[in-house]
Structure 1
């Protein structure tokens, strides 16, 4: 029997601050280990990625400071809002990321969180280098020029 997905809300939570603060070098899609109440809160769209970052501990990748609001319908079995969550990647991808991560000035930031067709929560992470102030100004200038060009085309 086919499942009717017309009424399901599409979840696509972006970290807009990361695109402004960092220059992305490489991106990966990783699974994430969650508790039952966490996935319910994600499906409601109650997630914040603005302060989140990733780090390695014992050759495993973890995400920290990702805020998932506690589920409103849960009782005493609710989750901690900012707990560490393990990210799931292949060993080859983890090794590649870890060697690049050890370079000076590189960090791993979450770019977006989404729910795929199977109903699993995925996190898109990026290996990134922090932008300098003049790079940010250049980005703002380019964005303003694009906006002006689009206004003139109408």
Structure 2
């Protein structure tokens, strides 16, 4: 049962832009163990309930699900463990300033593998949307879809 490895793996968080208003974006490195990178290359990950938090001056990713590797045997990783994010001090300070304002959290928006084969994650400080904001987003999306359909005809 050989699985196909995707080129340019991109795992988006589809709920991020729907539930949150993104304020800024940062690209961070991801500290992974052996079989996690293999699962990522197969596209077996989910960021739906994930968020980032500070602990001892370091930024950590919580609730990101990277599925166990099929061929991992006893060396397999835990699917929902906390993972450390790699950023420089200046970026960490800016993110800490964002988080200290009420109502702002840090969420992951996508995971990708760069041209050097390293796993990277795009994170964004975000403010939660209200219900009426979500309705407006859905309405804009439907309007865009209708305009695209009209242009194709």
TM-score by length of 1: 0.93
Match of 1:16 in 2: 14
The 2-side partners of 1:121 and 1:81 are apart by 16
Match of 2:138 in 1: 140
Match of 1:4 in 2: none
The 1-side partners of 2:132 and 2:83 are apart by 34
Report the Cα offset of residue 111 of structure 1: 0.1
Match of 2:46 in 1: 48
The 1-side partners of 2:128 and 2:119 are apart by 27
Q: 1:42 aligns to what SS in structure 2?
A: helix
RMSD: 1.0
Match of 2:117 in 1: 119
Report the Cα offset of residue 130 of structure 1: 0.3
The 2-side partners of 1:52 and 1:20 are apart by 14
Once the two structures are superposed, the pairs formed by residues 1-154 of structure 1 within 5 Å of their partners are 9-154=7-152
The 2-side partners of 1:11 and 1:147 are apart by 26
Q: Deviations over 1:41-80 (max 9, x none)?
A: 1001100100111000011000011001111111211110
Equivalent residue pairs, number: 148
Point out the more displaced range, 69-78 or 113-122. 69-78
Give ranges in structure 1 of 5+ residues lacking alignment: 1-6
Q: 1:70 aligns to what SS in structure 2?
A: coil
Report the Cα offset of residue 150 of structure 1: 1.2
Point out the more displaced range, 108-117 or 95-104. 95-104
Match of 1:3 in 2: none
The 2-side partners of 1:75 and 1:153 are apart by 52
Give ranges in structure 2 of 5+ residues lacking alignment: none
The 1-side partners of 2:6 and 2:134 are apart by 37
